[in-house]
Chain A
Amino acid sequence: MKTYNFAALLVGVPLLMAFSIPLFGFISKQLAKWITVLTLTFEFLFSLYILLWHVYPFNVIMGNWVPPFGENLYIGSLATILIVVISFVGLMISIYNLWSAKYGDVVHFALLFLMFVGGSIGLISTGDIFNVFIFMEITGISSYALAAYGPERRALGGAFKYLVISSIGSTLYLFGVLLIYTQLGTLNIAEIAARISQTTPGLLTFAGILLVAGLAVEAELFPFNGWVPDTYTGAINPVSATLSGIGSVGGVYVLIRIVMTVFGKNGNFVSTYGNLDLMTLIAILGTATVVIGELSALVQTNIKKMLAYSSMAQMGLVAMAFSIGSRLGAYAGIFQLINHSIAKAMLFLILGVIVSFGGERVEDMKGLWYKSPFLAVTFTIGALSLLGLPLFGGFWSKFALVDASFQRGGWYDFIMAIVLFASVVEAFYYLKVVGYIFTSKPAVSEKIKVEISPAIPIAAFAILIIAIGIFPQIVSGISYSAAHELTDKMSGYVLNVIPTIVGH
């Protein structure tokens, strides 16, 4: 067991800075925004250091309370890569916010944003199942407030819907956690994972269903994702980017960590303890989400709503990839999660710039090429990456996903056929928008001037997408070792946290 307590700063710094932002806000509103940028730059560089110098996997142990007695943070390869992604996306959005956050209370907006990112990083790194609940609520409360932010009233409606569904979801999650606690008397993920077979199967199944249902709210899986279209549409674009680029990453991570690490039963393909195989449940949820999301997105005339449904569908794809249960499936899921996070965040940011010059209907994209070639090209890059076309990151993850499900075989062949059909539908609506961008002359020939602060994140995302598209090794290697953490829970996770554990 390696410890590296310094990494507690990953969670501590953003939360500390978040709550001191009002102090900086007294000095200047600009300073408050810059504090977010600086903090997230620190996060990004620190996590990059952990990744590139191969500091992971390690534990963060507070006050010498070793797990399972104390609350620990565990940062393995999966957490590392996801923290890098989250802090990168967060950094980019915070740079974008230098330009976009201009109405209302920008200081508290910066506070909430930083709290959200810090909460998400905590969610990913914590090793305690109850702390997951706490961090879920930290991200939850900050994201309700973020979603309600903005000049339009629909933001409030969206935020309220999110709040209702999400608090029901976290209650379900808490019930699930407590049912497990009554059985095992511990809240440490590693210990629960090691001793999960000692529980009553009936109660365990019930707890598992509650946990999956609660977490599916954040992971945007049908039928727990009713909030998605309204909240994404209502929120201002940087917030939508935050929700889909950061929030859903955290949601899916926890879902997968609970199902595959805590409940998982290792074999050729991971299944779960209990009477009902939760992996099957997730496969069903994921496939249903893909189909429903893509078909609903097909008929949207509001491009933001279209992106929201597409986001939902992509999360279904990710969940479906994880549910395959093989190392390759988990690999495809992680890869797809990263690609989606980058591409969808970029699309929302681009939309933010476009919307500031006009409407957000699909028709308003007409002739974007003539108004701003930069936005047109980057939008196309993002869309093509989501479609899984080559030269862009999405190609590799979709390829890996199809490979994984055909290696699993059986009824996954059938699922994959459905998913591929849904992908054709997805191709239609994205290419329709791309077509509007390039073919039509704009109704108003006013040029869109992209300022430097939104241009930096958009360009960075686009470059990253192409870089992954040409050199998939950037993400491929770490994703594959992260996949091992999920598919072999003892050597991948439990023994790294509690080396002395017996049981299982």
Chain B
Amino acid sequence: MIDFLQNWIYLTGAMALVGIGLYIVLTNTNILRIIVGLNIVDSGTNLFIVTIAWHPKSVMPIYTATNNLVVDGHVVAADPLPQSLVLTAIVIGLGTTALALAIAVKIYQKYGTLDVRKIKEEDK
């Protein structure tokens, strides 16, 4: 376990990115901007993931002669697992974005607009 709150600057950055992304999703009516917003939320999440793996005093998690993973009974190695998680999350985010853009193109072809307020059907 890593006391990840020490990385407050990165955490603030991650939270800010998520907030900015949500703000974009909530305030912009253009589909493309909404997709960008979602993408920013994803970036915030990814930043959060890598942040919790590391803090300023941690060392690389590989045992060598000069690299002490345990100092004063505390593990100081960075956590390698989140790095692999973030890879997955990035790939998934990419897939979602690609699909969203494809749908956006189709929407523009069929509805003739990219305004989310106009993408709805009246009850017929």
A–B contact with Cβ pairs below 8 Å: the answer is yes
**Residues in chain A near residue B31, CB distance under 8 A:** 160
* Contact B41 A168, beta carbon cutoff 8 Å: yes
Cα separation A78 to B24 with both chains bound (whole Å): 41
Would you call A157 and B111 a contact (CB within 8 A)? Answer: yes
Q: B45 near A: Cβ within 8 Å?
A: yes
Partner of B103, one of A130, A137, A156: A156
Answer whether residue A41 sits at the interface, using C-beta atoms and an 8 A cutoff.
Answer: no
Partner of A144, one of B82, B99, B120: B99
Contact A182 B92 (CB under 8 A): no
A301 within 8 A of partner (CB): yes
Contacts of B120 in A (CB 8 A): 157, 230
**B1 touching A182 by the CB < 8 A rule?**
yes
Q: How far is the CA of A156 from the CA of B110 in the complex (A)?
A: 9
Using a CB–CB cutoff of 8 Å, the interface residues on chain A facing chain B are 130, 134, 137, 140-141, 144-145, 148, 153-154, 156-157, 159-161, 163-164, 167-168, 171, 174-175, 178, 181-185, 187, 230, 233-234, 300-302, 305, 361
Name, among A140, A144, A156, A305, the residue most crowded by chain B CB atoms within 10 Å (CB to CB).
Answer: A156
- Give the shortest distance, in Å, between A302 (CB) and chain B (any CB): 6
Q: Which residues of B contact A171 (CB under 8 A)?
A: 18, 41-42, 45
Which residues of A lie under 8 Å from residue B104 when comparing CB positions? 160
**Also in contact, A178 and B121, with CB within 8 A (given A145-B99, A157-B111, A171-B45):** no
Taking the closest CB of chain A, its distance from the CB of B54, in whole angstroms, is: 12
Interface size classification for chain B: 35 or more
Main secondary structure of the interface of A (DSSP, over half): helix
Could you tell me the distance between the alpha carbons of A182 and B106 in the complex, rounded to whole angstroms? 41
Residues A301 and B119 in contact in the complex (CB < 8 Å), given A141-B99, A153-B111, A184-B1: no
- Closest Cβ of chain A: how far from B55's Cβ, in Å? 11
Minimum CB–CB distance from A124 to chain B (whole Å) comes to 19
Q: Which of A157, A168, A175 contacts B25 (CB 8 A)?
A: A168
* Residues 1-23 of chain B, each 1 if its beta carbon lies under 8 Å from chain A, else 0: 11010000000000000100010
Select from chain B the residue with minimum beta-carbon distance to A142: B99
With both beta carbons as reference points, the residue of chain A lying nearest to B98 in the complex is identified as: A141
B103 touches A163 (CB 8 A): yes
**Docked CA distance A148–B120 (Å):** 14
Find the A residue at minimum CB distance from B108.
A156
Complex: how many Å from CA A163 to CA B98?
11
Residue in B closest to A136 when the chains form the complex, CB atoms? B92
In the complex, whether B124 has a CB less than 8 A from a CB of chain A is: yes
CA distance A159 to B100 in the complex (A): 9
The 6 closest A-B pairs by CB, nearest first: A153-B110, A157-B119, A137-B92, A154-B121, A156-B107, A185-B1
Question: In the complex, how many angstroms separate the beta carbon of B76 from the nearest chain A beta carbon?
Answer: 14
Given the known interface contacts A182-B1, A182-B2, A301-B123, the answer about A160 and B103 at a Cβ–Cβ threshold of 8 Å is yes
Cα distance A189–B119 in the bound complex, in angstroms: 40
**Bound Cα distance A134, B11 (Å):** 24
> With A and B bound together, what is the CA distance between A144 and B95 in angstroms?
11
